[in-house]
Amino acid sequence: MPKRILRVNMTNLEAKFEDLPGDYAALGGRGMTSTIVSIEVPPTCHPLGIHNKLVFAPGIVTGTKAPTSGRLSVGGKSPLTGGIKEANVGTNFAQMLGRMRIGAMIIEGKHEGDDYFLLKVTNDGAEFIDANKWVGKGLYDTYKALFKEFGDKVGICGVGIAAELLGAMSGVCFNDPEGLPSRYAGRGGLGAVMASKGLKFIIVDETDAPGVEIANQDVFNGGIKKLREALTAHDVTKPQGGLNSFGTAVLVNIINEAQGLPQRNFSRGQDDRCEKISGEVKAEEIKKRGGVRPHFCSPGCIIQCSEVWTKPGGKDPVGVLEYESVWALGANCEIYNLDDIGELNRACNDLGCDTIEAGNTLAVSMEGGLAKFGDGKGALKLMNEIYKKTPTGRMLAQGTEITGKVLGVTRIPTVKGQALPAYDPRAIKGIGVTYATTPMGADHTAGYAIAPEIMGVGGKVDPRDPKKAEVSRNLQLATAALDATGYCLFVAFAILDIPEGLEGIVESLNGVLGANLTVDDVAVIGKQIIDIELDFNKRAGFTAIDDRLPEFFMEEKLPPSDEVFDVTDDELDSVF
Amino acid sequence: MPKRILRVNMTNLEAKFEDLPGDYAALGGRGMTSTIVSIEVPPTCHPLGIHNKLVFAPGIVTGTKAPTSGRLSVGGKSPLTGGIKEANVGTNFAQMLGRMRIGAMIIEGKHEGDDYFLLKVTNDGAEFIDANKWVGKGLYDTYKALFKEFGDKVGICGVGIAAELLGAMSGVCFNDPEGLPSRYAGRGGLGAVMASKGLKFIIVDETDAPGVEIANQDVFNGGIKKLREALTAHDVTKPQGGLNSFGTAVLVNIINEAQGLPQRNFSRGQDDRCEKISGEVKAEEIKKRGGVRPHFCSPGCIIQCSEVWTKPGGKDPVGVLEYESVWALGANCEIYNLDDIGELNRACNDLGCDTIEAGNTLAVSMEGGLAKFGDGKGALKLMNEIYKKTPTGRMLAQGTEITGKVLGVTRIPTVKGQALPAYDPRAIKGIGVTYATTPMGADHTAGYAIAPEIMGVGGKVDPRDPKKAEVSRNLQLATAALDATGYCLFVAFAILDIPEGLEGIVESLNGVLGANLTVDDVAVIGKQIIDIELDFNKRAGFTAIDDRLPEFFMEEKLPPSDEVFDVTDDELDSVF
């Protein structure tokens, strides 16, 4: 059975398999979603209108035994940025699509009227099921009920209350291995795109799936062996390494030390209280409470950076508290309390919100006077407005830029409408170049300059040096390619330092595709993807002026380093 | 005494006169504001930040005896559109500036902290006065008190509660001849720019003003005589003509008849109930109640299209109910009741809101479920949220696009973020071309294609014909020039049909400036101004994609004509 596309038309509630076109055969993940969006979605269309499409694509090796490769790309025109979007998530849902040889699932059209549907996808076809009974409900209870209704072995994709509000902070939610609604293709408001079409859930049942077709099993096996060795050798990715022991929040102390951990809506880059919300303290607390750590987001992961955070006594599991979430919902709101952060993260998962966008939105709301900085209960109360679908909740659900504008806040930390992640671009400038220039809007994962700037991975550069176009460009190209493979971005830590790891990845791709790619092709593939995305954005009306950070990063010094973002416009424009 | 600039620095509270640079000598109104904004304001700056400036400039002949020439241009970078803005108002404040030979007043910098100031400008200088006692108060009571404090003869410019909220629907308010806060440089949120700087009011006292310098009195007198004759001869502008008898709302029946009067947030183009809110019915009612009609917005006007609407018994005067306001606050919200519309207009004036933006915002709120269409009391309740500065009020104060986005409404009638005026571009396509292509965002006054399309003024073209680039371009050029002169746009009705009227205008300019302009220079001057504005917008990041109407105008048919906006992108792009 060849690879296929599942095309889902929400206007007339039809879903049918199509053969994957020949020229899509070598595409996967972000390469697949960005290609399809670029070809099928008019760049100037309304992101919540009938012409936008939502595209799901597993990576090239996703569904195989390749380690740490359970990634799914979700693409479309973003209601947050107005540009092309790929949001990436690790989940067994991705692996199931891979094994069912569904290269892409394209959701198009728009159901007229207020009904919501659930799409059940099996190896043989797809059916629509009335989903109205789940509307207005939190995702924790709902996912539990869905597993009960459809069986433990299915994969679930869904959108929450924030998406029902067509909120631009809404993500697309997937289950973690415990069935918790805690894995998100979070960024860019793609949850609202899904909801705008009348689609509430997608259930995948992989029974009878043929598995990923592997053209050359020996080449593939050789490749994944090399990669596995690299991952188990590198300090960042190995068992009992940084990510495995403390999760992504291992970065809290590191970035705080580097004076680049934004506090109080990007007002300071350091605070001693961050120790209380560090990865180290969190890991200790999880152990004490009887949560789970380490943990994988999808089967077959070596790194296992995930976890299950719980209330005291191991009660009411939330899922992972990522570094970005701890920062956004914590330090950036001056909330230095893991229990408050855990409950805010629970609210985000339950409502279907991107935690980065939500945390920035809360911080901007605090600056706009809706709550006090540091008030965890006040922040939860604001999230509760989203549950109640009040005007305030509807504002918050639209994210940082809209909320900031409504409240007359001039310090709004966004690029292309998307809120900044957990690294202040004044103290760590390369990541600022990525924020400014990636077609995605402010996104650290698009070219993670923190690796060479702070972690000394893939070389070592001075975080305060404003000449960072090349660093950011190279990382952006490599990342785009990696986002197509299905491997988790975190394999980059190992392969940037261990050449055999990268060779292993390329060999694993050759094994699956029957291709003859070399290591040098990686940047070429990345460039092809980014060119497609830049072209989409250009056709949507973006110019170099959109590749800029907000004014206050250039004008307000960041204590204690007292740095400003002094990367020149020419330097930014030289990235692409 | 030569012409001067009053430069007001809000950072250090300094105001000083400067000589008007020689190359500004022939500039006035929109020519002056757009030139200064283009040179002095960085196009990518935050519109509410320290780098934006607010520029006031009377027209070239403003302050003279030239008929119908009491116009003031207010310019800056718009918080609503992100582009350059000129908002135009008729008021004796303009004439006073002209007679004081203040060619431009430039407000720059930004007061740090929460204090508001009043700037008192006299012929000899300017002083800052604490204005905190007026904060949070409605403008009707405040203007009354200000006249009491500063004398009946001053001119007042001010911003209201909407501007205190930094709302992008806030206008800059001027007194009418009765002292009512009812004349607005309304569009584009320039009130928020003024408030962002800490400036609440400007009081002008023209005592000892030397008057406008007229280089050649004979030429000037000959010119204004010709213009006066044209104005008193043309059916639209003459005494007891259409505008004089019924005000701008004479258009209600005309545009409704043309199936182009948008109802219920641009859902239909006609409704029989519009008769109840027509200019004819309103004029009758004003007479019955003991209001004033006709009435001028500034002394020396021949057309006198204004009025004073009151409650029954002549109580609680509101000021004029313009066609645009009656439509926006009325038909577009399905409110067909002049008393409700009057109270909504009062709220707009009192809060400092642009009525077009406010009415569209209310309609979009109704579509988003915050009130019912047709519910005048519900609409007033929403306006009351702005008084109370609640989150809902803060949302509304930001205008149509933000409100629509917050509420997940996809039918948002805006161009470049600015709400559409009272002509549906599907039924009357030339005005749609102007909405799409003017650098101002959706603005009927920028190139009033309604004149040839509906009124048969300046020729007659089919409103349904989508070839309108040339019609719109010519009108936009002529309008930009007219906006520089200080003459009211409504003189255009006469001069488009009566060549001697246009000659008279040119002669009056030559009289004031000692120049030798010809009628052919009008389009050249207009082109210069628009080129400056287009260049600013380009540097701010605008592209052809911003010169488009929202998707739903191309896709949803407008009953009863069932027209869509079928002007091609190429046609739009050929305008400039």
Q: Say if A392 is an interface residue toward chain B (CB within 8 Å).
A: yes
B406 vs A394: CB contact, 8 Å cut-off? Answer: yes
Q: Position of tokens 């109080």?
A: A264
Nearest to B246 by CA among B233, B236, B259, B261: B236
Nearest to A486 by CA among A64, A7, A13, A4: A64
- In B, minimum Cα distance to A44 occurs at B545
CA distance A438 to A445: 10
Question: Percentage of residues in chain A with pLDDT exceeding 70?
Answer: 100
CA distance B277 to B256: 11
Q: Say if A540 is an interface residue toward chain B (CB within 8 Å).
A: yes
Q: Which of A49, A50, A410 sits opposite B49 (nearest CB)?
A: A410
Integer-rounded Cα radius of gyration of chain A: 21
pLDDT of residue A280: 97
pLDDT of residue B1: 85
pLDDT digits (tens), chain B, 576 positions: 889 999 999 999 999 999 999 999 999 999 999 999 999 999 999 999 999 999 999 999 999 999 999 999 999 999 999 999 999 999 999 999 999 999 999 999 999 999 999 999 999 999 999 999 999 999 999 999 999 999 999 999 999 999 999 999 999 999 999 999 999 999 999 999 999 999 999 999 999 999 999 999 999 999 999 999 999 999 999 999 999 999 999 999 999 999 999 999 999 999 999 999 999 999 999 999 999 999 999 999 999 999 999 999 999 999 999 999 999 999 999 999 999 999 999 999 999 999 999 999 999 999 999 999 999 999 999 999 999 999 999 999 999 999 999 999 999 999 999 999 999 999 999 999 999 999 999 999 999 999 999 999 999 999 999 999 999 999 999 999 999 999 999 999 999 999 999 999 999 999 999 999 999 999 999 999 999 999 999 999 999 999 999 999 999 999 999 999 999 999 999 999
Which tokens in the block code for residue B76? 């800056």
Nearest to B58 by CA among B561, B493, B570, B485: B485
- In B, minimum Cα distance to A396 occurs at B406
State the burial class of residue B313 (Cβ atoms within 10 Å of its Cβ: 0-12, 13-18, 19+). Answer: exposed
Nearest to A395 by CA among A422, A357, A428: A357
- In B, minimum Cα distance to A394 occurs at B406
- In A, minimum Cα distance to B396 occurs at A406
Phi then psi dihedrals of residue A315, to 5 deg: -85, 155
Q: How far separated are the first and last CA of chain B, in Å rounded?
A: 40
Distance in Å, alpha carbon of B167 to nearest chain A alpha carbon:
7
Q: Say if B369 is an interface residue toward chain A (CB within 8 Å).
A: no
Q: Position of tokens 């500036």?
A: B97
For A498-550, where are the alpha helices, taking DSSP H only? 499-513, 521-539
B551 vs A46: CB contact, 8 Å cut-off? Answer: yes
Q: Say if A406 is an interface residue toward chain B (CB within 8 Å).
A: yes
Residues of A in contact with B539 (CB under 8 A): 545
B215: Cα separation from own chain's centroid: 30
Query: Any idea what the Cα angle at residue B348 is, between residues B303 and B171, rounded to 5°?
Result: 75
Residues 6+ apart with CB under 8 A from B19: B2, B4, B5
Residues of B in contact with A405 (CB under 8 A): 168, 398, 402
Nearest to A488 by CA among A319, A346, A299: A299
CA distance A164 to A389: 9
- Res. A295: pLDDT tops 90: yes
CA distance B193 to B188: 10
B408 vs A550: CB contact, 8 Å cut-off? Answer: no
- Assess: ipTM above 0.90: yes
Distance in Å, alpha carbon of A35 to nearest chain B alpha carbon:
22
Mean pLDDT computed over A108-124: 97
Which domains does chain A show, CATH number per domain?
A: 4-204 (3.60.9.10), 216-243+428-520+542-576 (1.10.599.10), 247-424 (1.10.569.10)
The DSSP secondary structure of B184-195, one letter per residue, reads: EE-TTSHHHHHH
Tell me what the pLDDT averaged over chain A comes to.
97
For A369-490, where are the alpha helices, taking DSSP H only? 376-388, 391-397, 400-406, 429-437, 450, 469-485
CA distance A398 to B153: 48
**Interface-testing mutation among B366, B370, B394, with chain A (most A C-beta atoms within 10 A):** B394
Residues 6+ apart with CB under 8 A from A22: none
CA distance A372 to A394: 20
CA distance B96 to B101: 9
Question: Which run of H or of E encompasses B118?
Answer: strand B117-122
Nearest to A227 by CA among A529, A490, A527: A490
Residues of B in contact with A537 (CB under 8 A): none
Residues 6+ apart with CB under 8 A from B450: B251, B255, B423, B428, B430, B431, B444
A387: Cα separation from own chain's centroid: 23
Task: Write out B345-401 in H/E/C secondary structure.
Answer: HHHHHHHCECHHHHHHHHHHHHHCCCCCCCCHHHHHHHHHHHHHCCHHHHHHHCCHH
Give the pLDDT confidence of A161-192 residue by residue, as tens digits: 999 999 999 999 999 999 999 999 999 999 99
Query: What does the buried/exposed string (b/e) look like for A359-389 if buried means 16 or more CB atoms within 10 Å of the residue's CB?
Result: bbbbbbbbbbebbebbbbebbbebbebbbeb
Mean pLDDT computed over A35-58: 98
Helix, strand or coil, per DSSP, at residue A121: strand
Distance in Å, alpha carbon of A63 to nearest chain B alpha carbon:
37
Q: How far separated are the first and last CA of chain A, in Å rounded?
A: 40
pLDDT of residue B94: 98
Q: Position of tokens 């089919």?
A: B462
Give A203's strand partners: A120, A156
Residues 229-248, chain A, touching B (beta carbon < 8 A): none
Q: Which of B394, B410, B540 sits opposite A406 (nearest CB)?
A: B394
CA distance B162 to B168: 8
Pairing mode, if any, of strands B155-158 and B199-204?
A: antiparallel
CA distance B310 to B342: 8
Q: Which of B51, B192, B408 sits opposite A165 (nearest CB)?
A: B408
- In B, minimum Cα distance to A43 occurs at B545
Residue type, A460: K
- The pTM for the full model equals 0.97
Residue type, B507: E
pLDDT of residue A427: 98
Q: Say if B392 is an interface residue toward chain A (CB within 8 Å).
A: yes
pLDDT of residue A1: 85
Nearest to B359 by CA among B266, B248, B257, B283: B266
- In A, minimum Cα distance to B163 occurs at A408
CA distance B37 to B571: 29
Which tokens in the block code for residue A152? 């433990």
The DSSP call for residue B21 is P
**Helix pair A338-351, A355-367: axis angle to 10 deg:** 110
Q: Which of A45, A398, A407 sits opposite B405 (nearest CB)?
A: A398
Q: Which of B46, B544, B555 sits opposite A551 (nearest CB)?
A: B46
B532: Cα separation from own chain's centroid: 20
